[in-house]
Homo-oligomer: A and B are copies of this chain.
Amino acid sequence: MASHVAGPDIEKLIKLLARLPGLGPRSARRVALHLIKNKDQLLVPLSEAMRVAVEKVQVCETCGNIDSASPCTICTDTRRDPSVLVVVEDVSDLWALERASVINAAYHVLGGTLSPLDGVGPDDLNIAGLLKRTAKGEIREIILAVNATVEGQTTAHYITDQLQEQAKELKVSNPAYEPIRISQLAHGVPIGGELDYLDEGTLLQAIRSRKAFE
């Protein structure tokens, strides 16, 4: 009786909704009811948006972003500076930087971080794709916008080594070759952050990177 309270079609919908991040069985039922009660205003357009996503959404073969075109909207945006490449771990990081509108550059999504304990090695990330892009000689700066975690920093170091290795080789075939500038995000006290709530590592970094008071 309880297994098919609402008929098999709705139960199936609830079961799938319950697999979305942040939803559980209870909230999935609430969402399903809300969808059904707002059929024309919500269920129909959401169903249609999902159908479009199924048909059109893909991973950009250039940068690893997710979009309905490949190369993606960002890669084909001519108002961006293609000589600056922001390297991120995940598409969600790319979206976060874009939402903040902090830089008008190109991106490269690694698809994770090096994590030997979890069996994630260089070949599991899109590092080869990054080196292919930098080999063309059109990129002047790489901003390693990885998370301030051990894995993020390990990955940043690995990529830096690979880029320096590549720079040496490119210099051999072209003595005029200028190596790519590699930078990383500044670490410190977040805006609005209270020192009391920050960990020692952040505080140490904030002290070490201290700047003249303006």
Contacts and interface: CB of A to CB of B under 8 A. Distances in A.
A99 interface: yes
A44 interface: yes
Interface of A: 1-2, 4-10, 12-13, 16-17, 19-23, 27, 29-37, 39, 42-47, 49-54, 56-57, 65-69, 72-73, 91-92, 94-95, 98-101, 104
Nearest to A16: B46
Per DSSP, chain A at the interface is helix
Contacts of A8: 68
Most buried by B among A13, A31, A36, A49: A49
Number of identical monomers bound together in the oligomeric complex: 2
A73 B11 CA distance: 12
Contacts of A47: 47, 50-51, 53-54
Contact of A53 (B23, B35, B57, B95): B35
Contacts of A37: 66
Give the 7 A-B CB pairs with smallest separation, nearest first: A47-B50, A5-B98, A7-B67, A9-B68, A13-B49, A16-B46, A7-B73
